[in-house]
Structure 1
Amino acid sequence: MVLWVFGYGSLIWNTGFHYDERLVGYIEGYHRVFYQGSTDHRGTPEYPGRTVTLQPAEEEVCWGVAYKISKEEDKQAAISYLEVREKQYDQKAYVDFFTDSSGSTPAVSGILVYIGSSDKKSNKNYLGPASFEEMAKQVVTAEGPSGPNRDYLFQLEKALLQLGCKDAHVMALADEVRRILSQDRKIS
């Protein structure tokens, strides 16, 4: 049996596991938002970074990348790796993945996706919505073992644009971070 994994954040440009095939496409009924706190990769417990999670949204789609993993040893290694990497995400879902914009027939059914829910009891790192200015200030200052939070944001924006996806939420946050950084440069 083959394992498929959907990446909608850093998995797009930094997979971290062996795979046999990579497809660009989308899942339906969700949109990407910077509402998940990161205290282990792009921030610390004292200064959490912001990373993306999925939020249910009827009539919307979330573009990303699907990875096909066929070999048993690669599947086990990928799951072990993802369980550590995605440990701050409290839910796993199995969804349909589409490559055709008509959305009539899924290219893959039952693709695994990790989600940080808005339930603060099961997801202690959920930060939730905030203004773009507030989120941007947090992104500018947060840094963790995987590097500055702003690098995550800018790499995600670049990776999505390379896929042909203009994600309004990601782009608006990136623009606000750039605005803050350019102001900081003018002051110093």
Structure 2
Amino acid sequence: MDEFWVFGYGSLMWNPGFEFVERWQALVRGYRRSLCVRSFVHRGSRENPGLVLGLDRGGACRGTAFRVAPDNRDEVIDYLRARELVTNVYLERHLPLQLPDGRSVRAVAYVVDRAHEQYAGALDALAAARIVNVSVGQSGPNDAYVFNTLAHLKEMGIRDQWLEQVVQEVMRLRNTA
């Protein structure tokens, strides 16, 4: 049976929620990590949506690749679908990843559906910061989600300059308020 890999680019990186036998930092080309998904529940509301991460077209994204044991494949895919496809804003795809040891693998990843009503598009850092700064949902403030994501990325040695700019803009907005 072929190897089964999963690619995480947000909270899945540090909170996968499933068993795996191997974990590597990985690079996917042609997609970027972006606050491009309007959150109507966890980090905002329908009246005042927040922003959460999506894997959107363009650029490249460093994240985490998890190799799952063949016996756990069905259980893990069921778990991922329940976790990621709640509102169907993501599309399940198999993307090529580059691992640090030179291997190329294909992994299940969840890519934002640009035709979905929750797709916010490519926002600049200030526009994203204005939303993140004021949105709150059932899981808490939107800024806490973004700050936590950036802190985890830094802990993992992954630099995301755009997300850093969003955080800087949120801090600037607070200092000028």
TM-score, reference length from structure 2: 0.86
Partner of 1:140: 133
Which runs of structure 2 are paired with 1:44-59 in the superposition (5 Å)?
A: 44-57=45-58
Is 1:65 equivalent to 2:61 in the alignment? no
SS of the residue corresponding to residue 47 of structure 1 reads coil
Residues 41 and 79 of structure 1, relative CA distance in 2, 3 Å threshold: farther
SS of the residue corresponding to residue 125 of structure 1 reads coil
Which runs of structure 2 are paired with 1:152-163 in the superposition (5 Å)?
A: 152-163=145-156
Partner of 1:113: 109
Residues 64 and 178 of structure 1, relative CA distance in 2, 3 Å threshold: same
Is 1:21 equivalent to 2:19 in the alignment? no
How many residue pairs end up in the alignment?
174
Q: CA–CA distance in 1 between the matches of 2:14 and 2:100?
A: 22
TM-score, reference length from structure 1: 0.81
Cα deviation code 1:73-96 (max 9, x no counterpart): x43332222212212433122111
- Of 74, 81, 96, 1:83 maps to 81
Q: Which runs of 5+ in 2 are unaligned?
A: none
What is the identity, as a one-letter code, of the residue corresponding to 1:115?
A: V
Partner of 1:178: 171
Preserved CA contact (<8 Å) 1:22 1:66: yes
Residues 32 and 14 of structure 1, relative CA distance in 2, 3 Å threshold: same
Residues 85 and 44 of structure 1, relative CA distance in 2, 3 Å threshold: farther
Q: CA RMSD in A?
A: 2.1
Residues 40 and 28 of structure 1, relative CA distance in 2, 3 Å threshold: same
Greater alpha carbon shift after TM alignment, 165-174 vs 32-41: 32-41
Q: CA–CA distance in 2 between the matches of 1:97 and 1:177?
A: 32
What is the identity, as a one-letter code, of the residue corresponding to 1:69?
A: V
Q: What is the Cα deviation at residue 71 of structure 1? A: 4.9
What is the identity, as a one-letter code, of the residue corresponding to 2:120?
A: L
Is 1:151 equivalent to 2:150 in the alignment? no
Q: Which runs of 5+ in 1 are unaligned?
A: none
SS of the residue corresponding to residue 171 of structure 1 reads helix
Q: CA–CA distance in 1 between the matches of 2:76 and 2:48?
A: 29
